[in-house]
Structure 1
């Protein structure tokens, strides 16, 4: 019996060589203008004859990946626009400043000249990203925990491609994008909601700076002293942001749960203690600017102009303070019945029906790589999802307590920890606004919330 390899074996090896070289070129293993290994080296590596190797290289020439240079070798071609793979990436424009996204995409495209990324702006509005996915208008999307939860609740999460977790990333971040033990977005950057304060204002009045032992009453007391009539307020945050008011629900120390009769009970519980504390902050004279709650960006603007001494913010948002001409620092949120804060995570999701999933995965892999994540740590205040990159010392110098987030990881929570859906939380906010405006007592607020939570989807009382 002959030991000679069959034609099928040669064909399999040839196909393997073509596929391997094609994938290496697409992955940036060879840069544009670089030469492939010699025909002899390829012959030895893939156990093919020189003639078979030439046939395989002819295929790559025909596909537009390489060009033959007589008596020199086979050189990687710059791709034409027709040859490029296009990834339509849904992204938040603010990520350009909060995560150096434009710079990172530029680096990616230099490494992968055959892949072009087409950025498409997205919004946080519920249903917006869902519609883009449903109509196959994006291949990949940057997604926060709010938008992911919307997909889960609308039973649309199966539009996302499941991904394998990266061991190098903080493991607790997976919770934000996991459903039924499947990870649907790779964590990219994150931030807990925190305090940021003007150190000079505290020094002027010889007040102790915020620390992890602060309660909300401690904050109110300090903010009252820091406030100066017609000059500055003591404390500010965008009251109606889901990332702000919901954390007061979380700090009640209890979650909303149905009792043995299948009903929600709010009366005679601590569930509204945080909502009551919001009202205390709002009506403390001189502490909070009632008429300015337009957006979270307003908080950073007033703080930068020294018109507020303390703000509730995130590591993402303090990127706007890089040019501040005074020293500021960060601290954990004050606590009420618990220490909870909301952790905001931005993830990278791939559309399951995308025709360029392999290229999209390459982009995800790059953006969560050590190289890319170190750029984020060096150039921004945002926290990289990559653990080693996040804990890298050095720039930026301020805030000096940047690494404080590591000490409060056990307090990190998400919207789902309230026990309610996004729709229930939205409905509850309407009732809370009536209470904060003085049109409802706490007892009537509790009754109104019980009534809306105990209605089924048809609006009937459960």
Structure 2
């Protein structure tokens, strides 16, 4: 048997070298004007051939990080201090990643790059596309639905292809790959989870939620936790695109088209899940008749002790990081199958940006170990870098004791795409849910209507 290293081994070593050098440049270990280790030193350090090392350095040069000087070495690119560059980062206020601190850290490394920000409303696909087309943003954060809308409107040509990195879990790339091409670097992620007030459970003498809970179990305990004129057992934003699809995903089947091209919904488990969702939301003994505008409204009720349990994400937990709230998290209860929805925020690059090189440096920085460590220590977000996500935090944030729960439930992660619906169909279902939850239509009427609308 040959002991010769495989091509995969060499490729992994090359990727490791490029990433390590890139991180060191971003962290200013090699300031502008200094030189990287010699090619011979890199050959020995990473057990690569001279040809592979040269290829890796070419990659760094193409990204604008170094200049290869014949018979001298690889110099970290000097920046003309007189030539200032301004780039614009688009983000949603929901993406709470201590952005100001991260930008300040980036600016300390790249003083010639000024970063402006512009915010989008969550799922404001039209605004995102408008800003991309008019080159008003150079790089931006997006989630799966944002990306999928770009795909469905055939506007992928506006996004710069980005590399798939070995230090980020492959499943985080799934929402941002079309064909064989990746269009966004994963930044942070979160499954949808159950969050509960530990004091309420202790006071009522009830067992805390566990992985074997069904939704009927939750309804039972939520009714016992509810107290007239004081609190309710459960509440969440029922019309959120990150809440109601969970019940369809847990139904165990997808939306499938018939040979005629229409969907079969009436009389299926999907219809059953809609009916169950209606009964859950309209149960006045455990859910308050409260009109929320977004997921933050529900999280705020939980923080105020008005509800005992809520369905949320690690992004939502960030609201509690500086509080004294005694809370914890658990896997979602299940309907037919114990599955949950995974949310992932990625960084995309405007292909037509006039300052693409500078914008790419920001993308690389935000997904570097330095920036990901800041996110890990200063927020309750889960960083995309596996190494950083698994580090113990030495901060004093109010983290739930089961913060690492997400590692245990990775096999249950699913994406919106597992519904087998396009974004417009998801919007259509959401609109019809309003009629179901306001008792203006029965689940039979809703499902028949959806079969035609979809």
TM-score, length-scaled by structure 1: 0.80
Aligned partner of 1:436 in structure 2 is: 437
Aligned partner of 2:381 in structure 1 is: 382
2:110 alignment partner, one of 109, 112, 116:
112
Q: Say which SS state the counterpart of residue 201 (structure 1) adopts.
A: helix
1:31 offset after TM fit, Å?
5.0
Q: Say which SS state the counterpart of residue 292 (structure 1) adopts.
A: coil
Taking the aligned partners of 1:401 and 1:139, their CA distance within structure 2 comes to: 38
Aligned partner of 1:409 in structure 2 is: 410
Decide whether the 8 Å contact of 1:27 with 1:112 is kept in 2: no
Structure ranking higher on relative contact order (CA contacts 8 Å, 6+ apart): 2
1:166 offset after TM fit, Å?
1.5
Q: Say which SS state the counterpart of residue 125 (structure 2) adopts.
A: coil
Aligned partner of 1:238 in structure 2 is: 237
Taking the aligned partners of 2:401 and 2:79, their CA distance within structure 1 comes to: 52
Superimposed CA distance per residue, residues 387-435 of structure 1 (whole angstroms, 9 cap, x where no aligned partner): 1111112344620100001111122222221111111121222222222
Superimposed CA distance per residue, residues 276-315 of structure 1 (whole angstroms, 9 cap, x where no aligned partner): 1221212323211123322211111111111100011110
- Per mean C-alpha deviation after superposition, the further-off stretch among 435-444 and 379-388 is 435-444
Decide whether the 8 Å contact of 1:26 with 1:113 is kept in 2: no
Judged with a 3 Å threshold, the aligned counterparts in structure 2 of structure 1 residues 278 and 299 are, in CA distance, closer, same or farther, namely same
Aligned partner of 1:353 in structure 2 is: 352
State whether structure 2 residue 122 is matched by structure 1 residue 121.
no
Aligned partner of 1:18 in structure 2 is: none
CA RMSD of aligned residues (A): 2.3
TM-score, length-scaled by structure 2: 0.81
Aligned partner of 2:401 in structure 1 is: 400
Decide whether the 8 Å contact of 2:238 with 2:281 is kept in 1: no
Decide whether the 8 Å contact of 1:26 with 1:115 is kept in 2: no
User: Map of 1:76-115 to 2, 5 A cutoff?
Assistant: 79-80=81-82, 83-95=83-95, 98-115=96-113
Q: Say which SS state the counterpart of residue 378 (structure 1) adopts.
A: helix
1:442 offset after TM fit, Å?
2.3
User: Map of 1:19-418 to 2, 5 A cutoff?
Assistant: 28=28, 31=31, 47=71, 65=80, 79-80=81-82, 83-95=83-95, 98-124=96-122, 125-395=124-394, 396=397, 398-418=399-419
1:123 offset after TM fit, Å?
2.4
Q: Say which SS state the counterpart of residue 291 (structure 1) adopts.
A: coil
Superimposed CA distance per residue, residues 203-251 of structure 1 (whole angstroms, 9 cap, x where no aligned partner): 1111111111111101100100000000001001011111111222212
Q: Say which SS state the counterpart of residue 200 (structure 1) adopts.
A: helix
Q: What is the count of residue pairs matched by the alignment?
A: 393
Aligned partner of 2:447 in structure 1 is: 446
Q: Say which SS state the counterpart of residue 284 (structure 1) adopts.
A: coil
1:64 offset after TM fit, Å?
7.4
Decide whether the 8 Å contact of 1:186 with 1:347 is kept in 2: yes
Aligned partner of 1:456 in structure 2 is: none
Decide whether the 8 Å contact of 1:200 with 1:326 is kept in 2: no
Taking the aligned partners of 1:26 and 1:213, their CA distance within structure 2 comes to: 45
Q: Say which SS state the counterpart of residue 269 (structure 2) adopts.
A: coil
Judged with a 3 Å threshold, the aligned counterparts in structure 2 of structure 1 residues 64 and 402 are, in CA distance, closer, same or farther, namely closer
Structure 1: gaps of 5 or more residues: 1-23, 38-44, 66-78, 454-462
1:30 offset after TM fit, Å?
5.7
- Per mean C-alpha deviation after superposition, the further-off stretch among 259-268 and 245-254 is 259-268
1:268 offset after TM fit, Å?
2.4
Judged with a 3 Å threshold, the aligned counterparts in structure 2 of structure 1 residues 259 and 205 are, in CA distance, closer, same or farther, namely same
Taking the aligned partners of 2:141 and 2:401, their CA distance within structure 1 comes to: 29
The runs of at least 4 aligned residues of structure 1 exceeding 4 Å deviation read 24-32, 45-48
Q: Say which SS state the counterpart of residue 230 (structure 1) adopts.
A: coil
Taking the aligned partners of 1:25 and 1:141, their CA distance within structure 2 comes to: 22
